[in-house]
Amino acid sequence: MGRLFGTDGVRALANGELLTPELALSVAVAAARVLIESDRSHMPLAIVGRDPRASGEMLEAAVVAGLTSAGANVVRVGVLPTPAVAYLVGQTQADLGVMLSASHNPMPDNGIKLFAPGGLKLPDELEERIETAVADGHGLVGRPTGAGVGRVHDLLDGAEHYIKHLVASTPHSLEGIKVVVDCANGAASEAGPTAYEEAGATVIKIHAEPDGLNINEECGSTHMESLIETVLREGADLGLAHDGDADRCLAVTASGEVVDGDQIMAILALAMRDAGTLTGDTLVATVMSNLGLRLAMKQAGIRLIETKVGDRYVLEELNANNYALGGEQSGHIVMPAFATTGDGVLTGLHLMATIATTGKSLADLASVVHKLPQVLINVKVKDREAGANAPTVQAAVALAEAELGETGRVLLRPSGTEPLVRVMVEAETEEQARTVAERVAAEVEGASPA
């Protein structure tokens, strides 16, 4: 069996070759067993939530069966955003959280995300033990019987607790702000608009009628055309776009310009610095964030720490050093004072609070970041490491970096799952970025032809 967990749990075609009910049951049993082994003082408690996609009903049944068969009590919270499930794990002092979602992926996909006590992502050591137990089948023997079998309960007001927490975190009333919210027909279709309204905003919601089949379908953070159209038609101050499980937030200005995660991070970082809540005047982002964010933060006197791609690496850096803000260009923004994972609705609330506090438009606030043109070329190779690290490739990168100077950069990143080397170049003009990227890509291809 190959690597089961990616950077954000297990994700694949639901009921396909990998992500079957049998696998979901095995993962649940193994996760419960690992927790029982680490703490036998009480019967473990697990929180289980899902997004609205149809396959979630099937996988939820399998996960609940697996957890209870291993001796864990289960509280089902139903359809809720991923960050809501993480929040409830912490609030109920649960031993485990399970979220069934494939985030921004199309409806046929689904995923299993696991949370440790406190609503934190599982540390690598626990994840590896769970993965080993699934592969060996050790979790499927010696199950409890009688009173040792777990029980199942439903929490009907989980969304209310989550929304109350979000609104309480918002530093300024949103009264006077008119916002269009694209809910992606996903998990935040009720919680998102409700939280924004309770914080004072006037809300127009779109794509907020999930039927199990329409999640992320031509909507949400990966398809923002209808959001832009609605913002312009309604004369709204801004638009917000979530993905299927609402751990992302992207925005649209009143004139229809997209504001990405890098710009949102810059806006929040400056606001938090001014409020004295940006720990160490430090922002955490990944290596894929635009150079424009780095230059803006440097000019503002804010230190930018880079991590590998993946919100789990951002989270590790934030937690290790008690930093207050981090995220990704895709719109995963993490504010550890209020959430243990990326939270799109929390991000939307604090973004609008900054607009309300400063009296500036979103366009004005976002203008602090001058995004440099970015070109990405995926090069098929036989050997990823050779393609990225060959002397001829490194020489080409060094030459490109000298040519670009401080107003550009080159990033080579071997894919973690495919025979590809990703060549990303940023420069002052798109033409220059593409020319340099194609030159470096040619060297990568020559060093390890597919």
Cα-to-chain-centroid distance, residue 370: 24
Residue holding tokens 């001829």? 392
Out of 69, 103, 330, 448, the active site residue is: 103
Evaluate whether 348 touches 331 at the Cβ level (below 8 Å).
no
Torsion, Cα of 151, 153, 159, 163 (10° steps): -60
Residue in the block written with tokens 């996760």: 31
**Residues forming beta bridges with residue 238, ordered by sequence position:** 179, 253
CA distance 19 to 83: 22
Neighbours of 38 (CB within 10 A): 11
Element (H, E) at 160: helix 158-169
Residues 104/342, Cβ–Cβ less than 8 Å:
no
d(C-alpha 91, C-alpha 86), whole Å = 9
Catalytic site residue 103? yes
The tokens describing 277, both together, are: 């809540």
Amino acid at 298: K
Q: Where are the alpha helices (DSSP H) in 286-429?
A: 291-300, 311-321, 344-358, 362-366, 384-389, 391-404
Handedness of CA 442, 443, 446, 450 (dihedral sign): negative
Contact 377, 423 (CB under 8 A): yes
Nearest to 342 by CA among 312, 319, 317: 312
Residue 208: exposed, middle, or buried by beta-carbon count in 10 A (0-12, 13-18, 19+)?
buried
Amino acid letter for position 207: H
Report how many helices (DSSP H) and strands (DSSP E) the chain contains, helices first: 15, 19
245 appears as a binding residue in the annotation: yes
103 labelled binding-site residue: yes
Residue 212: closest CA among 59, 23, 47: 59
Would you state the structure tokens that stand for residue 428, as one six-digit string?
């002052």
Would you call 337 helix, strand, or coil by DSSP?
coil
Q: What is the Cα–Cα distance from 25 to 189, expressed in whole angstroms?
A: 28
383 is in an annotated binding site: no
Side-chain half-sphere of 266: how many Cα atoms within 13 Å?
29
Q: Annotated active-site positions, please?
A: 103
Task: List, as residue ranges, the binding site.
Answer: 103, 243, 245, 247
Task: List, as residue ranges, the binding site for Mg(2+).
Answer: 103, 243, 245, 247
